[in-house]
Amino acid sequence: MGTTAGGNQDLARFMAGLVKRNPGETEFTQAVQEVAETVLPFQLAHPEYAKAQILQRMTEPDRIVSFRVTWQDDQGNIRANRAWRVQFNNSIGPYKGGLRFHASVNQSILKFLGFEQTFKNALTTLPMGGAKGGANFNPKGKSDDEVMRFCQSMMIELQRHIGEDTDVPAGDIGVGAREISFLFGQYKRLANRFAGVMTGKGLSFGGSHVRTEATGYGCIYFTQNMLARLNESLEGKTCVVSGAGNVALYTVEKLLHLGAKPVTMSDSSGTIFDKNGIDEEKLAYLKHLKLVTRGRMSEYAEKYDCEYLAKKAPWCVPCDAAFPSATQNELDVDDARELLKNGCKVVAEGANMPCTRDATNAFLDAKIAYAPGKASNAGGVSVSGLEQSQNSVRASWSREEVEAKLERIMSKIHDQCVEMGEDDEGHVDYVRGANLAAFKKVGGAMLAYGAV
Ligand code: GLU
């Protein structure tokens, strides 16, 4: 269907228009291209979608709010940053998605994240639209007070645009428990209301059990589902993980629960390669290092006397399964080839779009079990959705309850991908499956609304 000359021309024309309308937005273009490759042929084969221009409409955000955040550093200097909220699509529920604080943040990155979030959230089976936001604020090296002042200033503007039935932000890179608390505390003060307008809150003020662990745990539940279809399991498998945030830490934790052997983690300075495996005790040290003292990975290498690959990612380490859990485009086609050459049979994305297009295609061509982030990392936003439900009914579910729900949601996401992505030989293209299942859901709602 998608390989006809006519289909390719339509794709080329569609992408040329998109690039022209969004000049210089390479990440956004990349995310749309991946979706359009599978979805445009589907749309052309379904005249009702084509006539209503569903894909064209889905690639244009509902709105983007861009604003200045002015704050004062510890030396008394006035500083200014740029912040955004990209409200992409609310066809199936209030806008939902994280906030990212990182020096690299720009409109293209937030648009790609908001676009992907719309698809991801649709797969969770929960009623959530897609959004993303953030600022080009670099939290590295900032004091707690500086972070607080930045968050409070940002919320003065953000509060106008969010609400429990409108848009519910959460965390992402650079935005964790500390930042969510500062942001939510300021919202509560400005609006004089205690409502579920943010997720990832502390347990004593409306947060949900398992939210911190959810993305990492969810990624491994998804992987379990992929492997179970192939009559395999994670037990005894050597796994490489990139990243050092919540996603990576709790991916490693769940791998340990299941008897796998995680051997790497990484930050922007390098990779620790622990041949003996990162065990529970070492993981406890890493959690403290990354979440409390905010130190560097190299400190682990010194403490446990393991190999440290300075300035390198983990993809050169031989493994059975790889979990890119750091950031976009962290794994390129050379890395993909090296992983495949070394016998890697499973790749599940914990981060958003960590593989370049060529890397993704290398995994798809090799027909290994490859899960795109919008399916495999949807556990985080799923538990955010469960946090919203708990806030709405002013209830607090137990850890066991939330974890069981998360496990069920990940398996439902997996099954939707299989339903839409399985070929005649029984091989599943999870990229195709995820894109089509989400597109049908969001697009179906847009069709029902008519021309809005
Ligand atoms: N930032 C996370 C993601 O990429 C979580 C979003 C949320 O919980 O709203 O899905």
Residue 257: pLDDT over 50: yes
Helices 430-449 and 26-45: angle between axes, nearest 10 degrees: 70
Give the number of the atom of ligand 1 that is nearest the alpha carbon of residue 172: 1
Q: Which of 132, 237, 261, 282 is catalytic?
A: 132
pLDDT in tens, 89-101: 999 999 999 999 9
Mutational pocket test of ligand 1: of 179, 213, 215, the residue with most ligand atoms within 8 Å of the beta carbon: 215
Rounded distance, CA 448 to CA 181, Å? 38
Task: List residues near ligand 1 (CB under 6 A).
Answer: 96-98, 170, 172, 199, 352, 380-381, 384
Beta-bridged to residue 65, according to DSSP, are 85
Mutational pocket test of ligand 1: of 168, 381, 390, the residue with most ligand atoms within 8 Å of the beta carbon: 381
Rounded distance, CA 67 to CA 64, Å? 10
Ligand 1 atom 10: residue of nearest CA: 381
Ligand 1 atom 9: residue of nearest CA: 97
Q: How confident is the model at residue 5 (pLDDT cuts 50, 70, 90)?
A: low
Nearest to 35 by CA among 18, 52, 20: 18
Residue 163: pLDDT over 70: yes
Residue 376: pLDDT over 60: yes
> From the CA of 44, how far away is ligand 1's center (Å)?
31
- How far, in Å, are 83, 173, 333 from residue 138 at the CA level? 12, 10, 29
pLDDT for 292 equals 86
Give the number of the atom of ligand 1 that is nearest the alpha carbon of residue 128: 9
Please name the amino acid found at residue 376: S
Phi, psi of 271 (to 5 degrees): -120, 140
Give the number of the atom of ligand 1 that is nearest the alpha carbon of residue 121: 10
Q: What are 449's two structure tokens?
A: 């609304």
pLDDT for 1 equals 41
Neighbours of 265 (CB within 10 A): 30
Phi, psi of 413 (to 5 degrees): -65, -45
If you average pLDDT over residues 282-289, what whole number do you get?
A: 96
Please state whether the predicted TM-score (pTM) of the whole model is above 0.85.
yes
Ligand 1 atom 8: residue of nearest CA: 381
Please name the amino acid found at residue 92: I
| 345 has catalytic annotation | no
> From the CA of 50, how far away is ligand 1's center (Å)?
30
Q: Tell me, what DSSP letter sits at residue 60? A: S
If you average pLDDT over residues 174-201, what whole number do you get?
A: 97
Beta-bridged to residue 97, according to DSSP, are 169
Residue 4: pLDDT over 80: no
Q: What is the largest CA-CA distance in the chain?
A: 65
Give the number of the atom of ligand 1 that is nearest the alpha carbon of residue 113: 4
CB-based contacts of 389, cutoff 8 Å, min separation 6: none
Residue 18: pLDDT over 70: yes
Mutational pocket test of ligand 1: of 132, 172, 352, the residue with most ligand atoms within 8 Å of the beta carbon: 172
> From the CA of 85, how far away is ligand 1's center (Å)?
14
Give the number of the atom of ligand 1 that is nearest the alpha carbon of residue 117: 10
- Is residue 332 packed enough to be buried (19+ CB in 10 Å), middle (13-18) or exposed (0-12)? middle
pLDDT in tens, 208-223: 999 999 999 999 999 9
> From the CA of 351, how far away is ligand 1's center (Å)?
10
Contact 435, 38 (CB under 8 A): yes
Contact 219, 383 (CB under 8 A): no
Residue 409: pLDDT over 60: yes
pLDDT in tens, 309-327: 999 999 999 999 999 999 9
Q: Does the CA dihedral 369-374-375-381 come out positive or negative?
A: positive
Residue 228: pLDDT over 50: yes
H-helix segments, 52-143 = 54-58, 107-123
Neighbours of 400 (CB within 10 A): 10
Mutational pocket test of ligand 1: of 109, 117, 215, 383, the residue with most ligand atoms within 8 Å of the beta carbon: 117
Give the number of the atom of ligand 1 that is nearest the alpha carbon of residue 381: 8
Q: Tell me, what DSSP letter sits at residue 80? A: E
> From the CA of 384, how far away is ligand 1's center (Å)?
8
> From the CA of 425, how far away is ligand 1's center (Å)?
34
pLDDT for 2 equals 41
Contact 421, 428 (CB under 8 A): yes
For every residue of 401-415, DSSP letters joined together read HHHHHHHHHHHHHHH
Q: How confident is the model at residue 6 (pLDDT cuts 50, 70, 90)?
A: low
pLDDT in tens, 334-364: 999 999 999 999 999 999 999 999 999 999 9
> From the CA of 276, how far away is ligand 1's center (Å)?
32
